[in-house]
Amino acid sequence: MSAAVLYMSTSLDGYIAGPGDEPGNPGGDGFGRLHDWFVAPDGEFFRPSGPAGQLMDEVNATGAVLAGRRTVEQADHWKGDHHDGVPIFVPSHRPPGPSVANYPLVTYVTDGIASAMAQAKAAAGDRNVLVHGAYTAQRALNAGVLDELQIHQIPVLFGRGRRLFEVLPSRLELEIVRVIDTPEATHIRYRVRR
């Protein structure tokens, strides 16, 4: 059965973006530091060796992506292909801008996060749904449609920026299901307890 899994790199103090995170500076100042474990200085993605490489294999094995509007627009919808031609679903209360017409794998869903997740899971089949975006993750947790969190905790303190879990409506209990410690990051997978 498919699971919805949030994949996010965070600083130790919980930031997923540095200060100055805006359209002209996606991710803010210092954003690249959160992704050094799989992105080279020239911006090229690579498969890390060892256990971190296995995590990247998991990401690339997902069957659909569900990402927030801010995330997809800052990434220009990944040019319509996040990885291996899987469909991308974007929950939003507003219709997409005209550029999305160039990306047939991108679908904006305007009837709520639960509907967007149901469509993403249907498209993913027996593979997992990769979830991106802080606001989207919080909404999915609130709606009870996010199953797991794969957090890549980077040994850096940002001090300010955009936090992953800035606003949650209530306390949520998690179960640790896996910890992979590497020199670049501690990768912790949690299951949401319901």
pTM exceeds 0.75, yes or no: yes
Mean pLDDT of the chain: 92
User: What would the pLDDT profile of 41-69 be if each residue is shown by its tens digit?
Assistant: 887 888 889 999 999 999 999 999 999 99
> Residue 109: in which H helix or E strand, if any?
strand 106-109
**110-116 long-range contacts, CB within 8 A, separation 24+:** 112/143, 113/139, 113/140, 113/143, 113/145, 114/143, 114/145, 115/91, 116/66, 116/89, 116/90, 116/91
Least confident of 5-14, 36-45, 62-71: 36-45
Which two structure tokens, joined as six digits, stand for 3?
Answer: 């699971």
User: Phi/psi zone of residue 15: left (φ > 0), alpha (ψ -120 to 50 degrees), beta?
Assistant: beta
CATH at 24: 3.40.430.10
Mean pLDDT of 125-136: 95
Q: What is the pLDDT of residue 127?
A: 97
**Alpha carbon distance 86, 181 (integer Å):** 29
Q: Total structural domains in the chain?
A: 1
**Alpha carbon distance 116, 110 (integer Å):** 8
Which two structure tokens, joined as six digits, stand for 94?
Answer: 């507003």
User: What would the pLDDT profile of 139-187 be if each residue is shown by its tens digit?
Assistant: 999 999 999 999 999 999 999 999 999 888 788 999 999 999 999 999 9
- Whole domain around residue 122: which residue ranges? 4-192
